[in-house]
Chains A and B, each alone.
Chain A
Amino acid sequence: MSLVSFHDVEKTYRSLQGVDYTAVERFSVEIEAGEFFCLLGPSGCGKTTVLKMLAGFEAPTAGQIVMEGRAVTGASRDRGVVFQGDDSLYGWLSAVENVEFGLRMQRVRPGPRRERAMRYLELVGLKGQEQKYPAELSGGMKQRIQIARALVNEPKMLLMDEPFAALDAQTRSLMQLELANIWQATRTTVLFITHDIDEAVTLGKRIGVMRAGPRSQVKGVIEVALNGARSRTDDVFLRYYKQVYEMIRDEVAKSIARAD
């Protein structure tokens, strides 16, 4: 039973000059409850557009997004979001206050609120840093705050928009490992947007490969039958990498050609 389904979704943007740009067209995909779904595609293919529509920040121009039988019409705390940059954090709140934000909006009393926030800060490995402000923390730590802030609300789904793209390579692979552990522990459904094949094969249970934009769609979905810790040097890992690479290669070439 799928948790979310996109039915022939289309999103057209109108520029200030009045020129239409169709990012995605007849975009359809199903996301199963409890799975880690990676949406992989070349830059400019509309991955983020898909996430924004599912989050409810933007409405599709045609088609429908359905979650648990109901059409998505706006943002909801059923769908937590982790953004790429750190500009979504509240700089005037400490790490723990950032994490508490959703609970505070739900009017959860300060005692239980703090307790729950601390539990999630511990889950993301930020214990001892809770009184610091975002400006005092590194890029990786800021992304941890974002993850804890989304998870503490216990959303039905976590939407992650290239959350590790701005981090250095070492921090990124550490964060990937920890996110895999967090997912094992919580089993929250995840939609993870990335342009990095390695990241998709490391994390995804299923990988949806998108075509080059405009009018992008899902070209194909690859199921990754790897359980537990995944090693980049495993033969099986490399086989999946190759499979995904072959599917996306032409799209990347097209995307670069169109950009020129």
Chain B
Amino acid sequence: MRRSRLRRLWSVYGGYALGFVSLFLIWQLASLYVVSSVLFPPPTVVFRKGLLLVRNGILLEHLSASIQRILAGFMAGSLLGIPIGLAMGSFRPVRKLLEPYTEFLRFIPSVAMITVAVIWFGIGEASKIFLIIYTTIFIVILNTAAGVSAIAPNKIRAAQALGATRAQIFLHVALPATLPYILTGMRLAMANSFTTIVAAELIAANEGLGKMLWDGRLFMLVDDIFVSLVTLGLLGFGVDRVFRWSIYAFAGKYSPAM
């Protein structure tokens, strides 16, 4: 019984574990024998430094600053983007009206908006949150609208013939059919949020993982730079897992291929 459970765990997570172990092993070997330099510390040194920064609370301070900004901006961006996307996908006039905005603004990268954000909102939280909203909202809108227009017309017709009202069709057909697309949009937006927050914190911030990178460069704290990079990677990986899992939990029954 315990054996078979172990085997199942291995079949699900074994590949991952092996992948991660080999990643760090290659890194370790490369930094010891290939690029032996203080500018490329091995993972053992980075983890020791990371542990130190966790103990004295510095890493947590930077981490929580970045996470809070990402979460606030990401939530606000999604909460605004989902209804706008639903409206654009459902009503042609709304789409025509709003498309100039979305099609124009989404090509201006959020990194390019940093200067404007700092001028408008200062170097505090507001400018960061603005940038994350900016980076989130268009991807969520686009994916949500695409999801609505991808609903098979027969799903709507079937509901009409079963006596559903317009509101019921929206709630019980359009929304669940679009949810996998919304989650995919949010997943992509989350990845972009990481890019944006680091770039913004590099330029103007008092704390955050980006600020940690900048300070590392300024004071030649190479180990700190690597701690920040590894933290970003692990954080992103963890958040993306959560999204993949929720997309699968919902869309898995819808289409096993997703």
Residues of A within 8 A of B (CB): 55-57, 74-77, 79-81, 83, 85, 87-92, 101-102, 104-106, 133, 135, 146, 149-150, 153, 159
B 218-258 contacts with A by CB, 8 A: 250, 253-256
- Interface SS, B side: helix
**Interchain CB contact under 8 A, B160 and A135:** no
Q: Which residues of B contact A (CB under 8 A)?
A: 152, 154-155, 157-165, 168, 172-173, 176-177, 179, 250, 253-256
Given contacts A57-B157, A87-B152, A88-B158, contact A135 B163 (CB under 8 A): no
Cross-chain contact B161 with A135 (CB below 8 angstroms): no
- Contact status of A85 and B253, CB under 8 A, knowing A92-B176, A106-B163, A153-B162: no
Q: Which 5 A-B pairs have the closest CB atoms?
A: A77-B163, A102-B162, A75-B160, A88-B154, A87-B152
Contact B254 A91 (CB under 8 A): yes
Task: Give the docked Cα–Cα distance between A57 and B152 (Å).
Answer: 14
In Å, the complex CA distance between A135 and B164 comes to 24
Partner of A75, one of B155, B161, B179, B256: B161
Interface class of chain A by DSSP: loop
Give chain B residues whose Cβ lies under 8 Å from the Cβ of A76.
161, 163
Min C-beta distance of B149 to chain A, whole Å = 14
Contact of B176 among A90, A102, A135, A149 (CB under 8 A): A90
Measured CA separation A135–B253 after assembly (Å): 7
Q: How far is the CB of B59 from chain A (nearest CB, A)?
A: 41
Minimal beta-carbon separation of B11 from chain A (angstroms) = 21
Q: Are A57 and B254 in contact (CB under 8 A)?
A: no
* Chain B residues with CB below 8 A from A75, complex form: 157, 160-161
Q: Which residue of B lies closest to A102 (CB)?
A: B162
CB < 8 Å: which of B162, B177, B250 contacts A101? B162
